[in-house]
Amino acid sequence: MEKVMLNNGVEMPLEGFGVFQIPDAVQCEQVVYDAIRTGYRLIDTASAYGNEAAVGKGVARAIADGLAAREELFITTKVWVNDMGNEEDAYQAVKTSLGKLDMDHVDLILLHQPMKDYFAAYRGITKAYREGLTRAIGVANFYPAILTNLCETVEVMPAVDQVELHPFFAQAGALENMKAYGVVPQAWGPLAEGKHGIFTDPELTAIGSKYGKTAAQVALRWNVQRGVSIIPKSVHVERMEQNIDIWDFTLTEEEMAQIAAKDLGHSEIVNHDDPAFIKFVLNLH
């Protein structure tokens, strides 16, 4: 498992495990425990997922059973839009998340969306960072223009920008922009949330057969090989095992280009340029 050095010197595993859409607390605790037992060392949650307490319990049980030490684990959570109206709300949201996780610090706090007063919210998580409540700070869904505006303005550069990245939405330009600012790209939906027939895609399957790998493993390998951190989610242990078994093969340059050519140039999961989507999110709470 490779690690990547963030722009403040903190090391982050290049692959982690996401827990979006696991609302059941009992299942989520077990899934987190299973993921750590399988070898994942990064767990990605968010206050909006409603499962931080379950994640904390799964992590605590794994540590108690000797599967990993806290220092080996990298825990990410996110501040949701309803706590992004001002600096103090965002700062307090970090403390609330820590309380639910039952941890004295996390490893990464992200602003979940570039919505409401995200500069004030960024100052809130910067304060939490300076107080040691998190080892790094970053953002999610900050597309090139707004990421640029943020990076050109703030005192503490974001370490990570977590955006949708998979073969059908490759975002090469966004990656170039992040690289220019030393921001590590992290893929949400690295398996396209199962869309586009990704698991049976003929090209990904054919490439995988050369290495004894599945289409899913080829899609994940493609992202890490271009320097993108990935956080695939699965509630099934055999898929967790499959998704982390990507570190013993290397795609050729031709295969990397062939996969990049599958890019549709737009998301079919969410459109951040659509005013209706922004209003929908703002009205969730």
Residues recognised as catalytic: 49
> Does residue 208 touch ligand NDP according to CB under 6 A?
no
Check if the beta carbon of residue 177 is closer than 8 Å to that of residue 127: no
Nearer to ligand NDP, 177 or 242 (CB): 242
Nearer to ligand NDP, 47 or 242 (CB): 242
> Does residue 178 touch ligand NDP according to CB under 6 A?
no
Please state the closest distance from residue 106 (CB atom) to ligand NDP, in A: 14
User: Considering CB under 6 A, how many residues would be counted as binding ligand NDP?
Assistant: 26
Nearer to ligand NDP, 91 or 142 (CB): 142
For every residue of the chain, which 3-state class applies, written as one string?
CCEEECCCCCEEECECEECCCCCCHHHHHHHHHHHHHHCCCEEECCHHHCCHHHHHHHHHHHHHCCCCCHHHCEEEEEECHHHCCCHHHHHHHHHHHHHHHCCCCECEEEECCCCCCHHHHHHHHHHHHHCCCECCEEEECCCHHHHHHHHCCCCCCCCEEEEECECCECCHHHHHHHHHCCCEEEEECCCHHHHHHHHHCHHHHHHHHHHCCCHHHHHHHHHHHCCCEECCCCCCHHHHHHHHCCCCCCCCHHHHHHHHCCCCCCCCCCCCCCHHHHHHHHCCC
> Does residue 167 touch ligand NDP according to CB under 6 A?
no
> Does residue 97 touch ligand NDP according to CB under 6 A?
no
Contact region for ligand NDP (CB under 6 A) — 2-10, 56-64, 190-198, 271-279? Answer: 190-198
The 223-262 site mask, x for binding ligand NDP (CB under 6 A), equals --------xxxxxx--x--xx-------------------
> Does residue 213 touch ligand NDP according to CB under 6 A?
no
Q: Which of 74, 122, 168, 188 binds ligand NDP (CB under 6 A)?
A: 188
Contact region for ligand NDP (CB under 6 A) — 5-13, 87-95, 182-190, 260-268? Answer: 182-190
Burial zone of 148 (CB within 10 Å; 0-12 exposed, 13-18 middle, 19+ buried): middle
Torsion from C-alpha of 246, 181, 132, 121, nearest 10 degrees: -110
Please state the closest distance from residue 108 (CB atom) to ligand NDP, in A: 12
Check if the beta carbon of residue 71 is closer than 8 Å to that of residue 45: no
Find the binding residues for ligand NDP in span 52-91 (CB under 6 A): none
Nearer to ligand NDP, 65 or 268 (CB): 268
Contact region for ligand NDP (CB under 6 A) — 60-68, 97-105, 128-136, 189-197? Answer: 189-197
Nearer to ligand NDP, 115 or 192 (CB): 192
Residues at the contact surface with ligand NDP, assessed by CB under 6 A = 18-20, 44, 112, 140-141, 162, 188-194, 199, 216, 231-236, 239, 242-243
